[in-house]
């Protein structure tokens, strides 16, 4: 079918469309209900079907004859390790570890926090939880203990799974002390911490609550898959909102499995047996959807890469991986290619590898700038496809559909530079003004999606359904509010211009400026502050603090900057890349005292801005522009 037929069919009768798509996966008991409204005013798909996500990713693949096919290619240039793990072997590892987890008291519905680097045991951990019907919550390794503690108190995990260390370029980062610190700082205490010991750095397992990953599996009975309902949670993934309290996005089992299978085949154009690479980390939604669950549920071989695009050992490492495993398609953030281009501008390292297996490359997570686009497509001579999604949706909202037999009337891969392509079936995307009126094509506004959202999209926040409703469904009744701004062209192509809230995107990592502001403003010398994102050549955006010092405080600007940088690193984490704080005399405010953040965002992005009519003193904006220039920002 052509794109337009699919899109129209899903729009005209979503329930019928997604009832048919439910047949993509193996249910223990087929859902009787396709779409249900929930008590909190949201929706759930396939609520009463019975399935198990681990079964779909492993046992079902084996039943289909893929037992000896490679499920995961673990490639770790930072430890010089490679492993090809078949579906049979992965199922055995997962079943055994699930048995061990069950022995430690983990059962259906319990939560488990995972803080691990990109080693195969991390995938085993996620899948073992899914096998038991337990709910995992992966925390990205770059977060500081304080951030982990916030998540521990919210998710209340029964156990924590970690590794002795992670490797960042040539640094070995001890993870266990970070976990200990997080537990010490949290009110909730897990029963135990299970540690996967890596030979590069062993952790001290010095408390009775510290257990060894291998030892707990000795003599254990492997666990079978526990059936769960379609609406039961599979995982919680915390993401940045506008405050210091991250949002625990809850993913269900049923809608998620159907949506991933749909996207893997139709959007990414992957079939069982293909080799797929999601070049990200299990700490992010891409890692959940398209390193672990999606490719395995679709019978692909998935690359599990522990390294960086550069300096591990060089800017040719991505090309080596593509050639060595015959990668057919991949997902990547544009940052990675910007970093590679900086080191190898002429792409000489790519030319040393046979990249003929590659059909196309998908990019997302942040804006794809035109020069990266042209550099990459000229170098690889394959379609470079920008597409758009979020942690909340779990799969793309706009994208070319590379798997449709007749993808679109025109060439599906034909890019419209700056556009993330057209809405996928199930996403009725509208551009609204601040009052909720639909804007004509070409005019920028709030990008929203008419409810209900399709299967796979989150419909609750852990322990806080009201927050889901207030965050996403209240600003524009009847719509899901994405938090992104942008416009649509005459042919329905969507252009994302950036966030309309206080979220920034640093190296494809979503971060809350509000969270950093809480840390900065807690410094005793700081009267008030605003953290804004400035443009960065490699990472897209970087946070910068604009800080007003308390009257009478005697502190040198450089010393204050150093102290604030240290505090954000300690309390949010190194991944925030908060390295600059600029002292200003005052911040622009409305007459009622609200900081004009939207205007600050525009100044930081060097975009033209309209003088807000509510500003109390317009000269402050010139002052800030000048201070940023003096501090070295363009």
Residues of this chain that interact with ligand COA (CB under 6 A) are 141-142, 166, 168, 173, 279-280, 284, 286, 308-310, 333, 335-336, 339, 365, 507-509, 538, 574-575, 577
Nearest-approach distance from CB 83 to ligand AMP, in angstroms: 28
Choose the one of ligand COA, ligand AMP, none that binds residue 54, judging by a C-beta under 5 to 8 angstroms depending on kind.
none
- Give phi and psi for 80, each to the nearest 5: 60, 45
Q: Which residue lies nearer to ligand COA by CB, 27 or 115? A: 115
Locate tokens 């009787």: which residue? 32
Q: Which residues pair with 86 in a beta bridge?
A: 70
Which CA distances in Å does 303 have to 114, 117, 136, 205?
20, 14, 21, 31
Q: Which residues pair with 165 in a beta bridge?
A: 174
Q: Which residues pair with 532 in a beta bridge?
A: 544
Q: Which residue lies nearer to ligand AMP by CB, 239 or 301? A: 239
Per the CB < 8 A criterion, the answer to whether 432 and 448 are in contact is: yes
Q: Which residue lies nearer to ligand COA by CB, 507 or 596? A: 507
Nearest-approach distance from CB 74 to ligand AMP, in angstroms: 24
| Burial (0-12, 13-18, 19+ Cβ within 10 Å), 576 | buried
Nearest to 375 by CA among 421, 336, 410: 336
Nearest-approach distance from CB 99 to ligand AMP, in angstroms: 34
Locate tokens 């994302």: which residue? 496
**Alpha-carbon gap, residue 555 to 530, rounded angstroms:** 19
**Residue nearest ligand COA, Cβ-based:** 141
Binding mask 364-403 for ligand AMP (x = CB under 6 A): xxxx------------------xxx-xx------------
What count of other Cβ atoms lies within 10 Å of the Cβ of residue 216? 18
The answer for residues whose C-beta is within 8 angstroms of residue 393's C-beta and 6 or more apart is: 453, 456, 457, 458
CA dihedral over 316, 319, 325, 329, signed as positive or negative: positive
Q: Which residue lies nearer to ligand AMP by CB, 230 or 498? A: 498
DSSP-derived secondary structure letter, 611: P
Query: Between helices 557-571 and 513-521, what is the axis angle to 10°?
Result: 120
Q: Is 301 left (phi over 0), alpha (psi -120 to 50) or beta?
A: beta
Q: Which residue lies nearer to ligand COA by CB, 173 or 439? A: 173
Nearest-approach distance from CB 27 to ligand COA, in angstroms: 30
* By the rule CB under 6 A, 576 interacts with ligand AMP: no
Nearest-approach distance from CB 195 to ligand COA, in angstroms: 16
Nearest-approach distance from CB 454 to ligand AMP, in angstroms: 17
Choose the one of ligand AMP, ligand COA, none that binds residue 168, judging by a C-beta under 5 to 8 angstroms depending on kind.
ligand COA
Choose the one of ligand AMP, ligand COA, none that binds residue 142, judging by a C-beta under 5 to 8 angstroms depending on kind.
ligand COA
Q: Which residue lies nearer to ligand COA by CB, 514 or 573? A: 573
Q: Kindly state the tokens that stand for 158.
A: 């029964």
Nearest-approach distance from CB 151 to ligand AMP, in angstroms: 16
**Residue 354: CA atoms inside 13 Å, Cβ hemisphere, count?**
5
**Alpha-carbon gap, residue 169 to 311, rounded angstroms:** 7
How many residues interact with ligand AMP (rule CB under 6 A)? 18
**Continuous H helices in 449-506:** 465-468
Choose the one of ligand AMP, ligand COA, none that binds residue 575, judging by a C-beta under 5 to 8 angstroms depending on kind.
ligand COA
Nearest-approach distance from CB 222 to ligand COA, in angstroms: 30
**Alpha-carbon gap, residue 242 to 226, rounded angstroms:** 37
- At 162, is the secondary structure helix, strand, or coil? strand
Query: Between helices 254-262 and 14-21, what is the axis angle to 10°?
Result: 80
What count of other Cβ atoms lies within 10 Å of the Cβ of residue 167? 23
Q: Kindly state the tokens that stand for 214.
A: 């291998």
Choose the one of ligand COA, ligand AMP, none that binds residue 173, judging by a C-beta under 5 to 8 angstroms depending on kind.
ligand COA
Q: Which residue lies nearer to ligand AMP by CB, 34 or 289? A: 289
Nearest-approach distance from CB 575 to ligand COA, in angstroms: 4
**Alpha-carbon gap, residue 599 to 530, rounded angstroms:** 12
Q: Which residue lies nearer to ligand AMP by CB, 420 or 460? A: 420
Nearest-approach distance from CB 387 to ligand AMP, in angstroms: 6
**Alpha-carbon gap, residue 568 to 359, rounded angstroms:** 41
* By the rule CB under 6 A, 539 interacts with ligand AMP: no
Nearest-approach distance from CB 533 to ligand AMP, in angstroms: 11
Locate tokens 């604030």: which residue? 564
Choose the one of ligand AMP, ligand COA, none that binds residue 483, judging by a C-beta under 5 to 8 angstroms depending on kind.
ligand AMP
Choose the one of ligand AMP, ligand COA, none that binds residue 280, judging by a C-beta under 5 to 8 angstroms depending on kind.
ligand COA
Binding mask 489-528 for ligand AMP (x = CB under 6 A): -------x--x-----x----x------------------
Q: Which of residues 431-490 bind ligand AMP (CB under 6 A)?
A: 483-484
Q: Which of residues 35-54 bind ligand AMP (CB under 6 A)?
A: none
**Continuous H helices in 464-529:** 465-468, 513-521
Binding site for ligand AMP (CB under 6 A): 239, 285, 364-367, 386-388, 390-391, 420, 483-484, 496, 499, 505, 510
């Amino acid at each position: 079918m052509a794109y337009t037929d699919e899109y129209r069919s899903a729009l005209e009768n979503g329930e019928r469309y997604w009832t048919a798509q439910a047949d993509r996966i193996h249910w223990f008991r087929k859902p009787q209900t396709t779409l249900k409204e929930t008590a909190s005013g949201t929706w759930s798909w396939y609520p009463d079907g019975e399935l198990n996500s681990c079964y779909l990713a492993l046992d079902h693949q084996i039943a289909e004859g893929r037992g000896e096919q490679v499920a995961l290619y673990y490639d770790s240039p930072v430890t010089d390790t490679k492993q090809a793990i078949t579906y049979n072997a992965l199922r055995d590892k997962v079943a055994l570890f699930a048995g061990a987890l069950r022995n430690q008291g983990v059962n259906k519905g319990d939560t488990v926090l995972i803080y691990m680097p990109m080693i195969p045991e991390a995938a085993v951990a996620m899948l073992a939880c899914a096998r038991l019907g337990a709910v995992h919550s992966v925390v990205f390794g770059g977060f500081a203990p304080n951030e982990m503690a916030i998540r521990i108190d919210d998710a209340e995990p029964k156990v924590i799974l970690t590794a002795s260390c992670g490797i960042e370029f040539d640094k070995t980062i001890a993870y266990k002390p970070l976990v200990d610190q997080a537990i010490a700082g949290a009110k909730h205490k897990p029963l135990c911490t299970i540690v996967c010991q890596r030979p590069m750095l062993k952790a001290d397992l010095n408390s009775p609550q510290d257990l060894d990953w291998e030892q707990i599996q000795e003599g254990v009975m492997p666990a079978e898959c526990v059936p769960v309902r379609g609406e039961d949670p599979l995982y919680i993934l915390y993401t940045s909102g506008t405050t210091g309290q991250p949002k625990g996005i809850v993913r269900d089992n049923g809608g998620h499995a159907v949506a991933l299978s749909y996207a893997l085949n139709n959007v990414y154009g992957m079939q069982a047996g293909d080799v797929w690479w999601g070049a990200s980390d299990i700490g992010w939604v891409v890692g959940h959807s398209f390193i672990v669950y999606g490719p395995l549920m679709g019978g692909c071989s998935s690359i599990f890469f522990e390294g960086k695009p550069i300096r591990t050992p060089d800017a040719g490492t991505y090309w080596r991986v593509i050639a060595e495993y015959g990668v057919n398609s991949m997902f990547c953030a544009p940052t990675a290619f910007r970093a590679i281009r900086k080191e190898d501008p002429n792409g000489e390292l790519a030319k040393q590898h046979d990249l003929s297996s590659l059909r196309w490359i998908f990019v997302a997570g942040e804006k794809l700038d035109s020069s990266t686009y042209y550099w990459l497509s000229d170098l690889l001579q394959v379609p470079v496809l920008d597409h758009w999604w979020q942690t909340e949706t779990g799969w793309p909202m706009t994208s070319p559909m590379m798997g449709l037999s007749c993808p679109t009337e025109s060439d599906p891969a034909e890019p419209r530079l700056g556009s993330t392509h057209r809405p996928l079936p199930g996403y009725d995307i509208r551009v609204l003004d601040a009052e909720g009126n639909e804007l004509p094509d070409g005019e920028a506004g709030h990008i929203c999606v008419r409810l209900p959202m399709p299967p796979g999209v989150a419909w609750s926040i852990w322990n806080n359904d009201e927050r889901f409703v207030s965050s996403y469904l209240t600003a524009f009744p009847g719509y899901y509010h994405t938090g992104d701004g942008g416009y649509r062209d005459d042919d329905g192509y969507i252009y994302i211009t950036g966030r309309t809230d206080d979220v920034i995107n640093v190296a494809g990592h979503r971060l809350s400026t509000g969270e950093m502001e809480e840390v900065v403003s807690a410094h005793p010398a700081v009267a008030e502050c605003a953290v804004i994102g400035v443009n960065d050549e490699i990472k897209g955006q970087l946070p910068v603090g604009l800080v007003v010092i308390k009257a009478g405080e005697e502190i040198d600007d450089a010393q204050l900057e150093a102290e604030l940088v240290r505090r954000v690193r300690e309390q949010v984490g190194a991944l925030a890349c908060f390295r600059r704080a600029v002292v200003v005399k005052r911040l622009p405010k409305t007459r009622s005292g609200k900081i004009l953040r939207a205007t600050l965002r525009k100044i930081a992005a060097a975009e033209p801005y309209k003088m807000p009519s509510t500003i109390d003193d317009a000269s402050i904006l010139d002052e800030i522009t000048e201070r940023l220039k003096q501090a070295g920002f363009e």
